[in-house]
Amino acid sequence: MTAAPRRADGNPVRVGELSLDQRISLLSGGSFWGTRSIPEHGVPSVTLTDGPHGVRHQRQGEDNLGIFDSEPATCFPPAVAVGSSWNRDVARRMGQAIAEEAKALGVGVVLGPGVNIKRTPLNGRNFEYFSEDPYLTGVLAAEQAAAQESAGVGASVKHFALNNQETERMRISADVDERTMREIYLPAFERVVTTAKPATIMCSYNAINGIPAAENTWLLTDLLRREWGYEGVVVSDWGAVQDRVTSLRAGLDLEMPGGRDSSPELAAAVADGRLEQSVIDASASRVLELSAYHGATGSPVDHDRQHALSRTLALECPVLLKNDGSTLPLRAGQRIAVIGELAENPRYQGGGSSRIVPTHLDIPVERIRHGATDLGMTVEYAAGYSLEASHDAATLANDAVETARRADVAVVFAGLRESDESEGFDRTTLTLPDDQIALIRSVAAAAPRTAVVLFNGGIVSLEEWHDDVDAILEAWLLGQGGGAAIADLLLGVVSPSGRLAETIPLRLEDTPSYLTHPGEQGHTRYGEGVMVGYRYYTAVDHPVRYPFGHGLSYSRFTASDITVERSADDDTALTVEVLITNAGGRAASHVVQLYVSTAAGPVRRPRRELKGFVKIALTAGETRRVRLPLERRSFAYWDSTHDSWVVAPGEYRIEIAENADRVIQSTTITLVGDALPTRLTIDSTVQEWIEHPIYGQMLFPTQEGAEPSDLTMIASMPLRQFLNFPGVPLSPRDIDHILAADPVSG
C-alpha cells in the first residue's frame, strides 16, 4: 500500500482542503473500474477490478461488463475449490500471488473474496463461494483478504449481505430473522472485516427484509461501523445503487461504476438540507484514504512461477468421494482409458465477472499422458460426448465404450458445462447432462474398473450413476493448473486431501431451502433458519450421499487421546488437544475437524457446528499432537430477546470428527454460561412469570394437589390476557407496580 496522496509540503491531503464539489465528486466512480481523481490536489484514481481468483483487468476502454477482453492473468482455483482444500495456506498464498499480479497491472483493489453462504446448491454462482458453513468460509476468506492487504493491495469482501441466489438478485428481498443472519450469513463478513480489515466491502444488489442492502442503515452503519468498527470504504456492487442520497445516508460511500454521476443529486440534497455535509465529509474522507492503494508498482510477474503455484494450490482441493477396491491411484503398467471431452477441454472457472483470461492452461489428458509414461502405463483417449450439441453423439459414445473395453481402468471426465451454471442465473437441477450420465453408465458396464472425475462449480447429484462406478474424484473448478493437479492425484504422486465444504444430498428435494428457493413475488423467505446444509441434515437425521467434511485419502488416519485444557479465569477459553496418526502406508494430508454440540439455551441448536479445523501433512506412521483453540463465540448463540451473543449454561460436547456425520473422539464439558436477567413484561407468559425466582411463588404459589395439567392450560398465555379472566386476584396496575420496582424489568 503506498502512502495516501500528499500535499507539496509532504502532508497528506485532508478532506477539509477539498471544496464541497470535490468531496462529492469522490463518492461516484470516475470510470467503469476507477475512482475519481482530483489532479489539482494530487488525488489519483484508484483501480478496482475483479477477483476473486485472479486479476481481471481491462487495459484500454471498457465494455459493458468487461467480461471477455481482460489482460492475461493467472487463473487460480475458484473459491469452491479453495473451500474444499480446508487449508489456510492455500487461501493465504493465493491472496499474496493475486496481489503481486494486481500491483504489476496497477490495480489497487481486487474485488474479492466472495463469502456468501451456500444456502441452496442451485445458486449459479456457488463456484465463487467457499462453503455452506460460515466458520470455514470466514477463516479461509480472512486469510486471502489479509494476504492481499499485507501485500499492499486492497480486498473487497462481498456481497454484503444475503446474496445467496442469482435469481432476481437485483430486486429480490431475502427475508431472514436476525438470529439466522448473525449465526449463518454474517459471521464470515464479520471475521474478514474485524481480522483482515479490508480496504473495501461490497454491498449486494438484493434487499434484506424489504430494504435494499445499498440503502440499509442497520447493515451499513449500525452493524458494520458501530458494532464491528469497520473503517474502510463501502462500495456498491456495480449498478446496485438506486437512490444515491438514501444510500449515502445509509452508509454507502462509493457508487460504482462511474458513468451515472450522482454529484448533482448529492449537491442539491446538501443545499436543501436533505443531506448533512458531515455525511459527505465522512464518506469522502474514507474514499480519499483509498487513494493510498494507488500506484503500488510491483516487479514484472513471473507467470511460469505463478502457474506452478496454481498447480500446487489446486492439488489441495479435489475430494476423493469414493474409492472402492482402491481403484485409485492408477498403477504402473495399467492400460488407462481417459474418456470425456472435459479431459481435453476442461472447465476450470465459472462464468461472469470473475472470468480470467489464463496465462497457461493444463490439459488433463495431456498431463496424464505426461505422467503415465514414466509409470509404463498406456493411455487412450476418447471424447465420449461433445460439450456443444453434436450430431455424432452415438459415434462418440460407442467409440468411448470400445476404448473402455480395452482398458484396465476407465477414467471418465464429466461435469457441468458453461451453460449449466454462472453468475447471473441459478440452476434448476442437480443432475449432470443426460449424455454424460448415459456415457458413465455404459463405460462402467464395459471397463473392469471405472473412476469418474467431476468438473463443476456447484455440487451435482451422483445418484443416477454412483453405484455403477468404483471411484469418484470431485475436482470442482481448479483454475489453470488443475489439469496437472488432477493427473498427479490420479497417478498417486500426491494423495487427495480435500474435504467437502458443502453437503452432497441424495435429492434436491431433501435440501432445506427446497421449498423456499428461489422465492416468490419478490421475497425469498429463509424459513429453514440456522438449519443450513449439514446443520439441517444432522438435526433431522436425514441421510445424504456424502456429508459436509467427507473426503477419502490414499492413506488412513486415526485420532486418539482427546483432552481439553481449560483457562482458569474464563471457562469458554479452552484448547482441545488430540493425537493424529497416519496409519496408512504413505505420506498424506489430513483435515482435523472440531465441532461443538449442545442443546443448551432457549433456542433450537444445530446438532453440531464446525468451530475449528487444521490440515496437517504426515508421513507414513507419523503421529502428531494437534491443538485447536475454542473461545466464547464457539459456544454462543444469538439471543434475539437480548440482542446479544449468549453462552447458555449447560453441557457442551467437544467433538473431533471425520465429517459432520462421523465423530471419532469426543469429550463433554459444562459451562456456567451467562446469567441472563429475566426481563419480564406484562406480555411475558404465565410460565415465564412462574419461573421467575421471586415473582413465581409470589404470584403463583404452588397449589397443594394442583394438577400439572392445570398450569399447562395457561402456561403459554401472556399475563396481560390471563389477568382478564374472572377470579384472578391481580390487576394490570399491580403488575405495573411490581415491574416499576424491579431493577431489571423496570
Q: How far is the CB of 156 from ligand GLC (least distance, A)?
A: 7
Torsion of CA 88, 124, 482, 546, to 10 degrees: 70
Cell (9 digits) for 479: 483454475
Per-position x/- string for 228-247, each x denoting binding to ligand GLC as judged by CB under 6 A, each - no binding: ---------xx---------
Q: Give the DSSP H or E segment for 145.
A: helix 134-150
Q: Which of residues 92-111 bind ligand GLC (CB under 6 A)?
A: 111
Torsion of CA 294, 298, 301, 305, to 10 degrees: -110
Residue 213 vs 416, nearer CB to ligand GLC: 213
List strands edge to edge, sheet with 173-175.
211-212, 207-208, 173-175, 523-525
Cell (9 digits) for 293: 492503494
Residues 6+ away with beta carbon under 8 Å from 405 = 446, 447
Q: How far is the CB of 100 from ligand GLC (least distance, A)?
A: 20
**Does residue 164 belong to the site contacting ligand GLC (CB under 6 A)?**
no
- 284 upstream amide cis, omega within 30 of 0: no
Q: How far is the CB of 486 from ligand GLC (least distance, A)?
A: 28
Asked whether 110 and 50 are in contact (CB, 8 A), the reply is yes
Q: How far is the CB of 248 from ligand GLC (least distance, A)?
A: 20
**Does residue 353 belong to the site contacting ligand GLC (CB under 6 A)?**
yes
Residue 255 vs 655, nearer CB to ligand GLC: 255
Q: How far is the CB of 408 from ligand GLC (least distance, A)?
A: 45
Number of H helices, E strands in the chain: 22, 24
Residue 56 vs 545, nearer CB to ligand GLC: 56
Residue 213 vs 454, nearer CB to ligand GLC: 213
Phi, psi of 279 (to 5 degrees): -70, -45
Q: Is 237 a catalytic residue?
A: yes
Residues 6+ away with beta carbon under 8 Å from 559 = 578, 579, 580, 581, 592, 656, 664, 665
Q: How far is the CB of 164 from ligand GLC (least distance, A)?
A: 13
**Does residue 50 belong to the site contacting ligand GLC (CB under 6 A)?**
yes
Q: How far is the CB of 53 from ligand GLC (least distance, A)?
A: 12
**Does residue 255 belong to the site contacting ligand GLC (CB under 6 A)?**
no
Q: How far is the CB of 50 from ligand GLC (least distance, A)?
A: 5
Residue type, 313: L
Q: Which of 133, 237, 420, 435 is catalytic?
A: 237
Residue 236 vs 555, nearer CB to ligand GLC: 236
Q: How far is the CB of 523 from ligand GLC (least distance, A)?
A: 21
- 391 upstream amide cis, omega within 30 of 0: no
Residue 156 vs 327, nearer CB to ligand GLC: 156
Per-position x/- string for 487-526, each x denoting binding to ligand GLC as judged by CB under 6 A, each - no binding: ----------------------------------------
Residue 164 vs 572, nearer CB to ligand GLC: 164
Residue 114 vs 529, nearer CB to ligand GLC: 114
Asked whether 48 and 474 are in contact (CB, 8 A), the reply is no
Q: How far is the CB of 353 from ligand GLC (least distance, A)?
A: 4
Give the residue nearest to ligand GLC (CB): 353
Burial 85-123 (b: 16+ CB within 10 A, else e): bbbbebbbbbbbbbbbbbbbbbbbbbbbbbbbbbbbbbb
CA distances from 207 to 171, 214, 522 (A): 6, 8, 10
Segments of 231-334 assigned E as strands: 233-236, 319-323
Q: Which residues pair with 413 in a beta bridge?
A: 453
3-state secondary structure of 361: coil
Residue 56 vs 605, nearer CB to ligand GLC: 56
Q: Which residues pair with 582 in a beta bridge?
A: 557
Q: Please tell me the count of residues contacting ligand GLC according to CB under 6 A.
A: 6
Q: How far is the CB of 357 from ligand GLC (least distance, A)?
A: 15
Q: How far is the CB of 104 from ligand GLC (least distance, A)?
A: 20
Per-position x/- string for 111-150, each x denoting binding to ligand GLC as judged by CB under 6 A, each - no binding: x---------------------------------------
Pairing of strands 173-175, 523-525: parallel
Please tell me the distance from the alpha carbon of residue 359 to that of residue 72, in angstroms, as a whole number: 5
Residue 164 vs 353, nearer CB to ligand GLC: 353
Pairing of strands 409-415, 637-639: unpaired
Asked whether 518 and 388 are in contact (CB, 8 A), the reply is no
**Does residue 183 belong to the site contacting ligand GLC (CB under 6 A)?**
no
Residues 6+ away with beta carbon under 8 Å from 628 = 575, 576, 577, 578, 592, 594, 612, 613, 614
CA distances from 583 to 499, 550, 620, 621 (A): 19, 18, 7, 5
Residues 6+ away with beta carbon under 8 Å from 511 = 120, 121, 505
Residue 34 vs 612, nearer CB to ligand GLC: 34
Q: Which residues pair with 557 in a beta bridge?
A: 582
Residues 6+ away with beta carbon under 8 Å from 286 = 231, 232, 233, 253
Residue identified by cell 411490581 is 738
Q: How far is the CB of 81 from ligand GLC (least distance, A)?
A: 18
Residue 155 vs 647, nearer CB to ligand GLC: 155
**Does residue 158 belong to the site contacting ligand GLC (CB under 6 A)?**
yes
Please tell me the distance from the alpha carbon of residue 322 to that of residue 500, in angstroms, as a whole number: 12
**Does residue 73 belong to the site contacting ligand GLC (CB under 6 A)?**
no
Please tell me the distance from the alpha carbon of residue 656 to that of residue 666, in angstroms, as a whole number: 6
Residue 110 vs 580, nearer CB to ligand GLC: 110
> Which residue from 348, 303, 333 is spatially nearest to 453, judged by alpha carbons?
348
Asked whether 415 and 387 are in contact (CB, 8 A), the reply is no
Tell me the catalytic residues: 237
Contacts with ligand GLC, residue ranges (CB under 6 A): 50, 111, 158, 237-238, 353
